[in-house]
Amino acid sequence: MSERAAIRARGLTRRFGTLVAVDRVDLDVPVRHVYGFLGPNGSGKSTTIRMLCGLLTPNAGEIDVLGLTIPAQADALRSRIGYMTQKFSLFEDLSVRENFEFMAAMHNVPRERARRRIDELIEQYRFANMHKQLAGTLSGGQKQRLALACAVIHEPELLFLDEPTSAVDPESRRDFWEKLFDLADTGTTLLVSTHLMDEAERCHRLAILDHGRLVADDTPAVLTGRLQGRTFIVDASDPRRAQRTLAQARGVLGVAQIGHHVRVLTEAADVHDMPGHIHAALAQAGQHAQVTPVPPNLEDVFVAVTRHAQAMEPTA
């Protein structure tokens, strides 16, 4: 079956003192997929990744990665995965090439092969004219490119990338994602955490974490499809006032000003004529506006699932 799971976790839980950083998370990551991990700061993305790599011991739950039981068989897993940490963790006082050489040795890539592989990666990841530069003096985006290159030096079956593009500019990000898909094409499974919607949109499949809980897990298309008919653009003469008014309105889940417009996300359409409802709410406050339905995007999904969770918070 092509949909064999590279990662399978059930009831994954991790506490730090009284804080539940990861709360009963179930995950299934299919092989050869780019699997996105979306969530606000502190939602438990890094903690989950660390548990899946066997670097942190879960308080509860079962993990199976590449057929190995984690954390018990973590040692056997280490040669088969690549892990790019959120914070740059290569050696700043080693040169680009020295970092490559070190990581190749760590993964016991045969010397001759390692030499060819390093040359190949230096070429492919555009370090040709800075392979002697100390890693600490690279720019933020270059550092992340180097970290990715080092993480794949031993051609791992599974890659964990923790916010790999946080310092990469949009143009280079496109380039970066090309590489991720190339890797997926060659058979690698990738788990990528991110805050960025445009990145999340590119993933084959997406899990959204909020306060340690898994609040959504599906393809981007299915996730956005669920919000069909719940997103609108409001053109108002005074968008700031319109935003404030709508934020208080019944049935409205999220309002965001986007340039001269206001983007509105509503609750599940129990009101038949949502545009009319929005109209009325604004008219009541003495404002006139034009309401147009728009297709939902992942940002709406993000707002919808995290708001929902927050609304449930006090009772939980």
Q: Would you tell me which residues interact with ligand ATP (CB under 6 A)? A: 16, 19, 21, 39, 41-47, 86
| Residue (of 203, 213, 157) closest to 181 by Cα position | 203
CB of 79 or CB of 248, closer to another protein: 79
Nearest 10 degrees: Cα torsion 136, 137, 140, 145 = -80
44 binds, among Mg ion, another protein, ligand ATP, none (CB under 5 to 8 A by kind): ligand ATP
- Listed ranges 81-89, 141-149, 226-234, 258-266: which one lies at the site for Mg ion (CB under 5 A): 81-89
DSSP state of 129: G
- Contact between 158 and another protein by CB under 8 A: the answer reads no
- Contact between 59 and Mg ion by CB under 5 A: the answer reads no
What are φ and ψ of residue 15, in 5° steps? -110, 145
Do 230 and 296 form a contact (C-beta atoms < 8 A)? yes
- Listed ranges 49-57, 174-182, 202-210, 233-241: which one lies at the site for another protein (CB under 8 A): 49-57
Angle (CA) 52-207-307 rounded to 5° is 125
d(CA 76, CA 208): 29
- Contact between 73 and Mg ion by CB under 5 A: the answer reads no
- Listed ranges 104-112, 218-226, 238-246, 285-293: which one lies at the site for another protein (CB under 8 A): 104-112
Q: How far is the CB of 227 from ligand ATP (least distance, A)?
A: 23
Residues 6+ apart with CB under 8 A from 188: 32, 152, 155, 156, 157, 158, 159
Sheet holding 261-266, edge to edge: 252-258, 261-266, 231-236, 289-293
Do 120 and 137 form a contact (C-beta atoms < 8 A)? no
d(CA 125, CA 146): 8
43 binds, among another protein, ligand ATP, Mg ion, none (CB under 5 to 8 A by kind): ligand ATP
d(CA 44, CA 107): 28
- Contact between 94 and another protein by CB under 8 A: the answer reads yes
177 binds, among ligand ATP, Mg ion, another protein, none (CB under 5 to 8 A by kind): none
Contact pick of 46, 99, 142, 243 for Mg ion (by CB under 5 A) = 46
C-beta neighbour count of 23 within 10 angstroms: 18
* 72-91: contacts with another protein (CB under 8 A): 74-75, 78-79, 81, 83, 85, 87-91
Please count the residues of this chain forming the interface with Mg ion, following the rule CB under 5 A.
3
- Listed ranges 86-94, 238-246, 250-258, 275-283: which one lies at the site for Mg ion (CB under 5 A): 86-94
94 binds, among another protein, ligand ATP, Mg ion, none (CB under 5 to 8 A by kind): another protein
CB of 178 or CB of 313, closer to ligand ATP: 313
- Contact between 224 and Mg ion by CB under 5 A: the answer reads no
Contact pick of 10, 61, 97, 102 for another protein (by CB under 8 A) = 102
Q: How far is the CB of 214 from ligand ATP (least distance, A)?
A: 12
What are φ and ψ of residue 9, in 5° steps? -130, 145
Helix (H, G, I), strand (E, B) or coil at 236: strand
Considering just the CA atoms, what is the radius of gyration of the chain in Å? Answer: 23
What residues line the site for Mg ion (CB under 5 A)?
45-46, 86
What residues line the site for another protein (CB under 8 A)?
50, 53, 55-57, 71, 74-75, 78-79, 81, 83, 85, 87-94, 98, 101-103, 105-108, 111, 134
